[in-house]
Amino acid sequence: MKKIKQIFLIAICCLFISGCGDDPKLTQFHNEIDSFYESLSTSVSALENIDPASESAVDDMLTQLDTLSVLFGNLAAIEIPEEFENIEELADEASEYMTEAGALYREAYADNGYDDSLAAAAGENYNRAMKRINYIAILLQGRIPEGEDVMIVTEEETVNWDGGEAPVETQAETE
């Protein structure tokens, strides 16, 4: 229930910061984000309210996870305005993690069985997806996410690096 309240609060905050002006693309973006968070709140609430003792609990859970996968896919497909381009990668990752969570849960409960390791992996993917959704909401509020697993890279710190070994500082760069 706490998660639902948090998501609802984030959606409301998004409404307040949506001073879109006359830019139709920005207005559309804010409307799509608001719609996403409203649908997310409904889906998470439905998922949390499944009675684990019911005979249809597993099917109900898998159905809600399918709904979340579609919802997250829709989020990843939203055209992101330049002002918010920092959330595009997070939305894509959230969609991938939620899709993987649903697939792993299906596999974990296949043939009326239960595979604890697959369910744990599914749960981890679900948590990663939700964490990225939380980061998106924080960024849309104009705040910077905090935590030991958050790395902030400013434009000045970006390096044009194509892979391979990490770039090595030259003596001129260290002086």
Specify the CATH number for the domain of residue 140.
1.20.120
Residue 74 has pLDDT above 90, yes or no: yes
Is residue 14 included in any domain, yes or no?
yes
Q: How does pLDDT run across 53-70, given as a tens digit for each residue?
A: 999 999 999 999 999 999
**pLDDT of the residue at 173:** 46
In a domain, 143, yes or no: yes
76: in domain: yes
8 A C-beta contact, residue 39 and residue 59: no
pLDDT band at 128 (very low <50, low <70, confident <90, very high): very high
Contact, 87 vs 80, CB < 8 A? yes
pTM of the model as a whole: 0.74
What residues make up the domain containing 63?
A: 2-148
Residue 157 inside a domain? The answer is no
Q: Compute the average pLDDT of residues 84-98.
A: 94
